[in-house]
Amino acid sequence: MTRSHTYLVNGSFSQGISPLDRGFTYGDGVFRTIVMRNSVPDSWPQHYQKLVADCAVIGIVCPSAELLMNDLQQMFAIDEIAVAKVVITRGEGARGYAPPAVTTPMRVVIKSPMPQYAVNNFIHGVNLHVCEMRLSYQPKLAGIKHLNRLENVMARMEWQEDTIFDGLLLDQQGNVIECTMSNIFARFDQTLITPDLGRCGVMGVTRQRIIGLAAMLKMNIEVSEISMDRLLRADEVIVCNSLYGAFQVAKIADTTWPQHALAKIIRSALNT
């Protein structure tokens, strides 16, 4: 039986979010997006580990894995595949940027339908828009999935065409960093290169899982700067996130790529 509730706040279906919550007023929190299958979150150990690490960067005590798992299992039935967004904020605080000395973190679980991706995405790949929005440098926040996502919102407003799957985001120097909702890999022969996210960008769980699969894929992994020119010379480009796994990129601007098998192989490996 599919459950009808769409969100849970601090374990309650009736509680709302306070206007004094620092996640609402300042974006003072972090989040993860996770596929739920039969009330079990995909790759939960990696997602929870990343929640803990991201919370630690901004000085929030992450709720326990048991508490969050109980929330998830209240929201999702055993006969459904859907999407969970887990949000952790610092909790309530008075006006002003300085956080209270003692806070009680707020946790929210939001339930959404699983996106229905076009069959063509799996067969022929996806097209990317090169965004005018450039990511700013902030090494202290680089890598974490914090709630301040205005850069992504503004970038996503740049296109309306259904033929565009995602937007490619560059940094201030024109280096490739990520997409608005995806991480990115470029294959050169037997080497997979993914951008260095030490100054900006989000270190997604699926990105980390693909790095961990390198030996099985018989690929070398390199984390380094990738210029736009270098990306367009790649033998193959792959985008990834926790919902769809991996898609090959078919087109960026005027550059196109023929079909390759790596994205399909990666999706299979991620599902194993």
Q: What is the per-residue pLDDT for 4?
A: 66
pLDDT of 89 over the 60 cut: yes
Q: What is the pTM of this model?
A: 0.94
Please tell me which residue, 101 or 190, carries the higher pLDDT value.
Answer: 190
Q: Which residues of 95-160 form beta strands (DSSP E)?
A: 106-113, 126-135
Separation of CA 20 from chain center = 27
Q: What is the per-residue pLDDT for 14?
A: 86
For residues 196 and 173, the answer to whether their CB atoms sit within 8 Å is no
Kindly list the structural domains of the chain, giving each domain's residue range(s) and its CATH number in brackets, ordered by start: 7-113 (3.30.470.10), 119-271 (3.20.10.10)
Q: State pLDDT tens for residues 252-272.
A: 999 999 999 999 999 999 998
Distance CA 243, CA 121 (A): 13
Any idea which residue has 């209240």 for tokens? 74
pLDDT of 225 over the 80 cut: yes
Q: Residue range 220-248: average pLDDT?
A: 97
